[in-house]
Amino acid sequence: MGKFGIHLVSTIPALLLAFAPPALAARSLEYWEQDLTHPVCTSSVTYSREFVSTVIPADLARPASGGTEANREFSVRILREDHGQLRGVARIPVRLYAPGVFQRLQAETDLDGIARIKGSCYPGTRTFLVATLWQPRFQVTNGLLPYQLTAEVPCGEATEIVYRENSAGANVLGIWEIAARSERKLEAAVGLSFWKLPIELIWPAKADHYGSGKVHLVSGTHWDIVGHELAHAFYAQAGLGVFAQGAHRIDECYSPELAFAEGWATFFSAWLSLDLEDPDPMFEFLSPRVAPVRIENIPQDVCQGETNEWRVAAFFWDLVDRHEDGENLEIPFGLLWKALRGTRTASASQARDSLIEGGVDRGKLDQVWKLDFGK
């Protein structure tokens, strides 16, 4: 990297800080995922505070298979390797800096991970790319600054930027992908008016945890846990349920409000990433002790009743899924959200009552209830 690049990298974080939103007011909601990743996790757990660089150069920058783009438009595709596959990542703001060019060369990646950049620069000139993981509603940071993906990209051509499996780039892009998917799916299902406070997703952390509007993550590639933690943030902002905290183990019973909060978060993660028609949808990383956590087929020995989070998650899943396993209810996610929004619900049975008030068929609802709670 030449002097040009180094200079940009060192000044951009300072610029970003200047435009960063004010710090969020302290809030009391806290969820420590004691069972999810850390078998023993006490209140003395501290976050990882060792220095982690936020500048992540591409593992690979190569010409895209499509060849060159038309003059005055060129493209960059951002890919992350996941389970051996390369996947484009959407919603990333991309800026390019070219020597002697003062117009803005910027664009956002689409669903294929492609940013099409309009603007003139001499074909073949090396430009310096900075993709900052910062959007007004969500940011991926090291706890201080947003991550910045960097690469050198020839002007006027189509380039692919690749982050290899398990690299730092693949971790932060994994988190970004779940946050961007949440925004996209929530916008379509319920609108985004509830999402008033930006959510900071911090990686790496020593424990998976949600608190004070911030999501702390051990791994960015654990897609199901990322979705679960993010769900706590939405639950808080939309006032879906009451605040609850304490130790929780996914196959055991405890308070109905904590089971509701944790079960809703697990359900949301499923809605985000799993197929509603799948006869046996399952998570991959959630609760290593009992993994894989199946959501349509709960093991018999899981504690019964609405004080178990796994069963709460399965209850919500059956309400919206399209696989009939002894139930035939299919309500839109938006209807479920509307029934809970602002209610600060404290148990699955309260949620059931709100759904009946919202017009959901009582008989079909009872069928789902018996199927998932066993009583």
Distances in whole angstroms, Cα of residue 35 to Cα of each of 31, 205, 243, 353, 367 = 11, 16, 19, 30, 30
Instruction: Show the binding pattern over residues 221-250: x = contacts Zn ion (CB under 5 A), - = does not.
Output: ------------------------------
- Here the tokens at position 191 are 């609108």
Beta-bridged to residue 118, according to DSSP, are: 73
Instruction: Count residues near Zn ion (CB under 5 A).
Output: 4
* Residue with Cβ nearer Zn ion (81 or 262): 262
Backbone torsions φ then ψ of 101, nearest 5 degrees:
-110, 120
Binding partner at 325 among Zn ion, Ca ion, none, C-beta below 5 to 8 Å by kind = Ca ion
Burial class (CB in 10 A: 0-12, 13-18, 19+), 280: exposed
* Sheet containing strand 199-202, strands side by side: 30-32, 209-211, 214-216, 199-202, 138-141
Residue pointed to by tokens 């349920």: 241
Kind of pairing, strands 138-141 and 93-97?
unpaired
Residue pointed to by tokens 């690979």: 60
Q: Which of 40, 38, 28 is nearest to 205 (CA)?
A: 38
Q: Does 310 bind Zn ion (CB under 5 A)?
A: no
CB of 202 to Zn ion, least distance (A): 16
Residue from 31, 283, 285, 315 in contact with Zn ion (CB under 5 A): 31
CB of 33 to Zn ion, least distance (A): 5
Q: Which of 212, 182, 168 is nearest to 47 (CA)?
A: 212
Q: Which stretch binds Ca ion (CB under 5 A): 134-142, 253-261, 263-271, 310-318?
A: 310-318
Within 325-344, the residues that bind Ca ion by CB under 5 A are 325, 329
CB of 264 to Zn ion, least distance (A): 9
Within 255-274, the residues that bind Zn ion by CB under 5 A are 262, 265
Q: Which stretch binds Ca ion (CB under 5 A): 178-186, 205-213, 321-329, 345-353?
A: 321-329
Kind of pairing, strands 93-97 and 105-108?
antiparallel
Binding partner at 183 among Ca ion, Zn ion, none, C-beta below 5 to 8 Å by kind = none
Contacts to Zn ion by CB under 5 A: 31, 33, 262, 265
Contacts to Ca ion by CB under 5 A: 318, 321, 323, 325, 329
